[in-house]
Amino acid sequence: MKYLEDISLKHYNTFSIDVRARFFAEAQTEEDVIDLAGNLQDIHFPLLILGGGSNTLFTKDFPGTVIKISMKGIHVIKEDEDAVWVKAGAGENWDDLVEFCVNNGWGGLENLSAIPGNAGTSPVQNIGAYGVEMKDTFFELETFDLESKVKKIFSKEECGFGYRESIFKLKYKGRFIILNVTFRVLKKPVLHLEYGNIREELTLMKADHPGIADVREAICRIRSRKLPDPAVIGNAGSFFKNPVILPQQFENLKRSFPGIVSFQQDGKIKLAAAWMIEQCGWKGKRVGNAGVHSTQPLVLVNSGNATGSEIMNLRDEIRISVYEKFGVRLETEVNIV
């Protein structure tokens, strides 16, 4: 790999935060990653492995080496009468992978349409949307261990998937470089239409007997209306996780806030963070160069030339106001660097 010095990362993160990396390189093949691991003694630490930059907020210049993962390729590795196993390079665009599966009539990923980012970063936080999580279709992933310098395959069970988390976000953060991810998609898709206003959108589309292509189009239409395009205004999608609380705490909240928005989740209650943020008066509000999106309060935006610190200060103010009003702590979904 060719290492560049003093490189702006503005075009490598969807928040469009203009910070600089001391050194920068792009891994376009698995051999590049192996070469990197074999020469760690020559790397200027700290080391940051960067995917699509769609879930990252830079708060300052990076003093070490940034490696952008750009391995491409989508391949069918096997199939049976029920399913197809599709392997994608870690640097493959996530929505291109979803579109590839939908165009072939293979179901499972369509509800995750139009999510920015790359295939290799999707397991790190177990991306999810419209009632579906990545883990529902995930089969396995292949990594390179920077400590042992060997490849290692992780099964679904070994990844420790939870709500917007995995062992790669927590226990093994920074140790493994994800090389590729394999998904098991269905030849006879099972549609998931109950979450949000998917059915309403399908009705507007006059899709009386919808298939996965219709579901994908519906979700793309919904997301385009509700969420800002990072190419137009800097953002990293949902900045906060939806809090999960115990039923008793929810009953107490409901007495004070009868209109509180919630969902059942594994015997607990998931609260709609967007609803709480809006109730605190943040929807569409701008503070300096940072702001809260006008149609989706979960999304913080770079309204001008915001710094990462401005975004962080806005985050802190929102968290404080939500806690003071509801007694609920919001957790950040975005990776802070």
- The CATH fold assigned to 234-336 is 3.90.78
Residue 265 has pLDDT above 90, yes or no: no
Identify the pLDDT of residue 231: 84
pLDDT digits over 179-211, tens only? 999 999 999 999 999 887 899 999 999 988 999
Identify the pLDDT of residue 108: 96
Residue 239 has pLDDT above 80, yes or no: yes
Whether 4-69 shares its CATH topology with 234-336 is answered no
Residue 40 has pLDDT above 90, yes or no: no
pLDDT level of residue 52 (50, 70, 90 thresholds): confident
SS3 readout for the chain: CCCEEEEECHHHCCCCCCCEEEEEEEECCHHHHHHHHHCHHHCCCCEEEECCCCCEECCCCEEEEEEEECCCCEEEEEECCCEEEEEEECCCEHHHHHHHHHHCCCECCHHHCCCCCEHHHCCCCCCEECCEEHHHCEEEEEEEECCCCCEEEEECHHHCCECCECCCCCCCCCCEEEEEEEEEEECCCCCCCCCCCHHHHHHHCCCCCCCHHHHHHHHHHHHHHHCCCCCCCEEEEECECCCEECHHHHHHHHHHCCCCCEEEECCEEEECHHHHHHHCCCCCCEECCEEECCCCCCEEEECCCCCHHHHHHHHHHHHHHHHHHHCCCCCECCEEC
pLDDT, averaged across the chain: 93
Residue 76 has pLDDT above 90, yes or no: yes
State the catalytic residues. Answer: 164, 238, 333
pLDDT digits over 124-159, tens only? 989 998 989 999 999 999 999 998 999 999 999 999
Identify the pLDDT of residue 54: 86
What's the CATH number of domain 4-69, 3.40.50.300, 3.30.43.10, 3.40.605.10, 2.40.50.140? Answer: 3.30.43.10
Identify the pLDDT of residue 164: 86
pLDDT level of residue 320 (50, 70, 90 thresholds): very high
Identify the pLDDT of residue 216: 97
Identify the pLDDT of residue 137: 97
pLDDT digits over 289-300, tens only? 999 999 999 999
Residue 113 has pLDDT above 90, yes or no: yes
Residue 240 has pLDDT above 90, yes or no: yes
**Percentage of residues in the chain having pLDDT higher than 90:** 77
pLDDT level of residue 280 (50, 70, 90 thresholds): very high
> Which CATH class name applies to 74-186?
alpha beta
- Domain boundaries, given as residue ranges, for the chain: 4-69, 74-186, 234-336
